[in-house]
Amino acid sequence: MNEMPSPKWFAVTLLLVTALLVGAGLAEAARVASGQVFVSSEKDDAIAAFDARSRQLLAVWRQCKRPRHLQLSPDRARLYVACSDDHRVDVASRKTLASLPVGDDPELFDLSRDGRMLYVSNEEDGLLSAYDTASGKRVFAVKVGEEPEGVKVSADGRRVYVTSEVANLVHVIDVATRKVVGNIQVGNRPRRLLLLRDGKELWVSNELSASVSVIHTDTLEVAHTIHFAPRGFRAGDVTPVGMAASSDGTRAYVGLGRANHVAAVDVASRRVLDYVLVGRRAWGLALSRDNARLYVANGLSDDVSVVDTASSKATATLKAGRVPHSVAIDD
Partner 1 sequence: MTERLRCCLSLVAALGLLARVADAAAAAEVRIAVVSLAGDLRHEARRLAQRYPGQPQGRALDGAQVAAAEARFALEAAGQSLRLDAQEARNEAEVGPMVAALARQGTRFILLDLPAAAVRQATAAVKPGEALLFNVSADDDGLRGAACSPVLLHTLPSLRMRADALMQYLALRKWRRALLLSGPSTGDAAQRDALVQSARRFGIAWSAQRTFRLSNDPRERDQSNLNLLTSGTDHDVVVVADADGEFARGVPYATQLPRPVVGASGLGAQAWHWAWERNGGPQLNRRFTRAAGRPMTGYDWAAWVAVKAIAESVARQPKAGFAAQAQALVTGKVVVDGFKGPPLSFRRWDRQLRQPVMLAHPDGVVAVAPVEGVLHPKNNLDTLGADEADTPCRAPSS
State the residues that interact with partner 1 by CB under 8 A.
105, 123-124, 126, 144-147, 164-169, 183, 185, 188-189, 208-209, 234, 236-237, 258
Cα–Cα distance for residue pair 257/237, rounded to 1 Å: 8
* DSSP 8-state code for residue 239: -
Identity of the residue, 51 or 124, whose beta carbon is nearer to partner 1 in the bound complex: 124
CB closer to partner 1 out of 25 and 232: 232
The CA distance from 323 to 211, in Å, is 24
Residue 183 or 246 having the CB closest to partner 1: 183
Q: How far apart are CA 191 and CA 208, in angstroms?
A: 10
Nearer to partner 1, 124 or 174 (CB): 124
> What is the full DSSP assignment across 93-131?
ESEEEEEEE-SS-EEEEEE-TTS-EEEEEETTTTEEEEE
Q: How far apart are CB 152 and partner 1 at their closest, in Å?
A: 19
| Shortest distance (Å) from residue 46 CB to partner 1 | 18
Q: Which residues pair with 142 in a beta bridge?
A: 128
The Cα 205–Cα 225 span in angstroms is: 10
Dihedral angle computed from the Cα positions of residues 237, 216, 154 and 290, in that order, rounded to the nearest 10 degrees: 60
CB of 169 to partner 1, least distance (A): 6
Toward partner 1, which CB reaches closer, 55 or 227?
227
Q: Which of 331, 322, 330, 267 is nearest to 40 (CA)?
A: 322
Please, what is the minimum distance in Å from the beta carbon of residue 127 to partner 1? Answer: 12
DSSP helix/strand/coil, 79:
strand
CB 177 to partner 1: min, Å: 18
Q: Which is nearer to partner 1, 123 or 330 (CB)?
A: 123
8 Å CB contact between 92 and 105: no
Residue 20 C-beta: closest distance to partner 1, Å: 34
Closer to partner 1 by CB, 124 or 331: give it.
124
CA distances for 99 relative to 48, 139, 151, 315, 324, angstroms:
19, 16, 19, 36, 22
We find the least distance from the C-beta atom of residue 211 to partner 1, in angstroms, to be: 11
Min dist CB 162 to partner 1, Å, is 12
What gap in Å lies between CA 301 and CA 280, rounded to an integer?
A: 5
**Would you say 105 or 330 has its CB closer to partner 1?**
105
Q: Which amino acid is at 194?
A: L
